[in-house]
Amino acid sequence: MLQLVSMQQTFTFLETPIEYLKGVGPIRAELLKKELQVSTFGEFLTLFPFRYVDRSKFLKISEIKEENSYIQIKAKVVRIQTIGTPRNQRLVATVRDETGEIELVWFQGIKWVAEKLSPLQEYIIFGKPSVFNGHWNIPHPELEIPPVKPLPLREIIRPIYSSTEKLKSKGLDYKGLGRLVKNLLLHPKFLIQENLTPEILTALHLINRQDAFVNIHFPQSPELLKKAQIRLKFEELFFIQLRLAKQRIGRLNKKSGNKFLKVGDFVNQFYFHHLTFELTNAQKRVIKEIRADLGSGNQMNRLLQGDVGSGKTLVALMTILIALDNNYQSCLMAPTEILAKQHFQTISGMLSGLDVNVKLLTGSTKQKERKEIQKGLLLGDIHLLIGTHALIEENVQFKKLGLVVIDEQHRFGVAQRAKLWEKSVVTPHVLVMTATPIPRTLAMTLYGDLDSSVIDEMPPGRKPVLTKHVYDKEQLKVFRFLKDKIAEGQQVYIVYPLIKESETLDLKNLMDGYQTVIQAFPPPSYAVSMIHGQMKQTEKDQEMKRFLERKTQILVATTVIEVGVDVPNAAVMVIENAERFGLSQLHQLRGRVGRGNDQAYCILISGYELSAEARKRLSTMVRTTDGFEIAETDLQLRGPGDLQGTQQSGILNLRIADIVKDEKILKYARSLANEILLDDPDLKLEKNDKLALHLRQMDLRQQNWGLIS
């Protein structure tokens, strides 16, 4: 016991293990760790209520419309019944207000509740309504006799914490969690250090940190709740931005990049003799931005954004050639094997006739070839290595790596990028290409440490893909349209969704579709290819090849074609069960067509019954082909948590802020962070001590996570 106490004293208050909190103990502590990833007082404090209920407001029974959301009513008990066999009993109390009746139901603790309930008594009833047999009821509500006097202001707002079944079984429902938070706030040592400077607090009219934590959990008034939210949202976004900006500015101040001063034969030959088209103005502008970085003596760390087909790959290639003109090797890393191969083929094709040695390295590269590649890289014979994650393996070493291009389908972790940097003494220049545009706010947060270039212009002559949404019953009409297009010599994709729950079901879905397609497009007039996830790579390649060589007119596929594949002659994209796809996926798929000169079409087929969100997705696709607009809508519909690639990045595990709803705060936090660093790039001034300290603590915490996971 003594030992425990002395152990406890070695922690600061916020670092104290949660088991020492009154009401927790080892068993609940274990559960809190498992279920909510909370192991210290500090982490528990940032487990903010996900909503609040105003205890002075009541819903009328006739107004109940929504399931599974907490409500509060005031009603009189009119009937109490015990129903069912003794083994399977429930207690039903019918209550009434002036607008109607609703049943309260208990399956457990029946006797106890029955004794306490008084007929004709009015209660305040709090719970989550649900529908059973077509009637509303509230299972296991909380009851309270209305107080004679009005509630004091500070008890009016009640915090609701999210809990889990396991926690509930140990008494930690939202109320139980609330009790623990209260214990923490009432702890004799409870004290929270301010981490913002007085200047910031005054300028932004923010409340202090301690008051914010108290009021976010137990608001003393609606106004203070609002202030607590703003203060904590600002703090959260500000420190992320401060850290990103500090990294960026630190890099810019370091003068530690390879200087690529020359534009030489490789670039000139390619540009004047191999490039068959004129660069778009956007491409020219971006290449200029990149050249300025490369010649600056700083290490480039640049994000290149542009819509599918806007010509990012070409910009990357020009950058690679600049590196080569300065005697540096490059590598290009893609997220999947298919995409790496596609890059390899496209880039090799574009470079044919130039004396550039390009190699492909992926997980399936044979040992012998792998060895040869490793040798060639060390000797400097290989100028450009294209590949997947295989590139960051330790035994891949370059003679003189000067440039890393990362093509991201999903975001590679920052840690993975860092691994690539370790591959040369001087950190290579880094160009990150995204497959599709990223919403502004997300880019600020996910890529805030990078400089940004945007290609906002499509190559000339590209006609926007015409998009139409139809219901499944119009399948015949769609097929007739496809026949016309095929008769004109065009090729067609028909895509089926992956339903993650079951691979066999996915396959069946696809096979059924394939059968339908074959029946509508029978041989020998038509030939149909099929690709799905369970085929061997060689089979997939074979089928893809048949389609590319125009031996088949239709490619039926699951979303494997989502990345990479470039078939200029394919002008029609049909997406079955389009309501099942996310917006960015739909946009990616549509980007597969419209790469040739013909007018391209995208047909979205869906069922008749659509959720509001699905309807919005489909109508957005029909309305616009602008990838930036689509990305913004996607973010608004789904929230940042669900966007591809954001979960694993960790940076968006925001506790309270929401980059969509709190865009204004985010932008303000970003500009303030930049302003402060402009003055004091290393946060060395005394007045910024608090900020520097907090950043150090953040880094420490992240390192510890790194050790754990």
What is the residue whose two structure tokens read 């009015």? 122
Task: Output the CA torsion sign for 457, 462, 468, 472.
Answer: negative
Provide the b/e sequence for 51-89 (b: ≥16 CB within 10 Å): ebbebeebbebeebeeeeebbbbbbebeebeeeeeeeee
Nearer to ligand ADP, 169 or 597 (CB): 597
CB of 317 to ligand ADP, least distance (A): 8
Q: Which is nearer to Mg ion, 212 or 314 (CB)?
A: 314
* Tokens linked to 17: 């293990």
**Relative orientation angle of helices 174-185 and 209-217, to the nearest 10 degrees:** 150
CB-nearer residue toward Mg ion: 317 or 676: 317
- Give least dist CB 280 to ligand ADP, A: 4
Strands 122-127 and 71-83: antiparallel
How many other CB atoms sit within 10 Å of the CB of residue 488? 9
Tokens of 10: 């070695």
Q: How far is the CB of 260 from Mg ion (least distance, A)?
A: 23
427 contact, one of ligand ADP, Mg ion, none, CB 5-8 Å limit per kind: none
Question: Closer CB to Mg ion, residue 49 or residue 437?
Answer: 437
Residues interacting with Mg ion, by CB under 5 A? 313
Identify which of residues 317 and 450 has a Cβ nearer to ligand ADP in the complex.
Answer: 317
The residue among 286 and 331 lying less far from ligand ADP, judged by its C-beta, is 286
Q: Which does 559 bind (CB under 5 to 8 A by kind): ligand ADP, Mg ion, none?
A: none
Q: Shortest Cβ contact with Mg ion: which residue?
A: 313
Please choose which of ligand ADP, Mg ion, none residue 306 contacts, taking the beta carbon within 5 to 8 angstroms, the exact cut-off set by kind: ligand ADP
For residue 413, the minimal CB distance to Mg ion (Å) is 21
Nearest approach in angstroms of CB 270 to Mg ion is: 18
DSSP 198-246: HHHHHHHTPPPHHHHHHHHHS-SSHHHHHHHHHHHHHHHHHHHHHHHHH
Interatomic CA distance for residues 99 and 96, integer angstroms: 8
Q: Give the shortest CB-569-to-Mg ion separation in angstroms.
A: 18
Kindly provide the b/e burial profile for residues 676-696, where b requires at least 16 CB atoms within 10 angstroms of the residue's own CB: bbeeeeebeeeebebbbebbe
CB of 355 to Mg ion, least distance (A): 25
Q: Out of ligand ADP, Mg ion, none, which partner does residue 159 contact, by CB within 5 to 8 A per kind?
A: none
Q: Which does 529 bind (CB under 5 to 8 A by kind): Mg ion, ligand ADP, none?
A: none
Q: Which is nearer to Mg ion, 334 or 528 (CB)?
A: 334
CB of 565 to ligand ADP, least distance (A): 11
Residue 459 binds: one of ligand ADP, Mg ion, none (C-beta under 5 to 8 A by kind): ligand ADP
CB nearer to Mg ion: give 31 or 316: 316
The minimum distance between CB 435 and ligand ADP, in angstroms, equals 7
Is 412 in contact with 335 (CB distance < 8 Å)?
yes
Residue type (1 letter), 289: E
**496, 576 Cβ separation under 8 angstroms:** yes
Structure tokens given for 150: 């009005």
Helix axes 312-325, 337-351, angle to 10 degrees: 60
The C-alpha atoms of residue 354 and residue 652 are separated, in whole angstroms, by 44
Rg (CA), the chain: 31
Q: Which of 313, 365 has the CB closer to ligand ADP?
A: 313
Asked if 64 and 95 count as a contact pair (C-beta separation under 8 A), the reply is no
Q: Which residues bind ligand ADP (CB under 6 A)?
A: 277, 279-280, 283, 306, 308-314, 459, 595
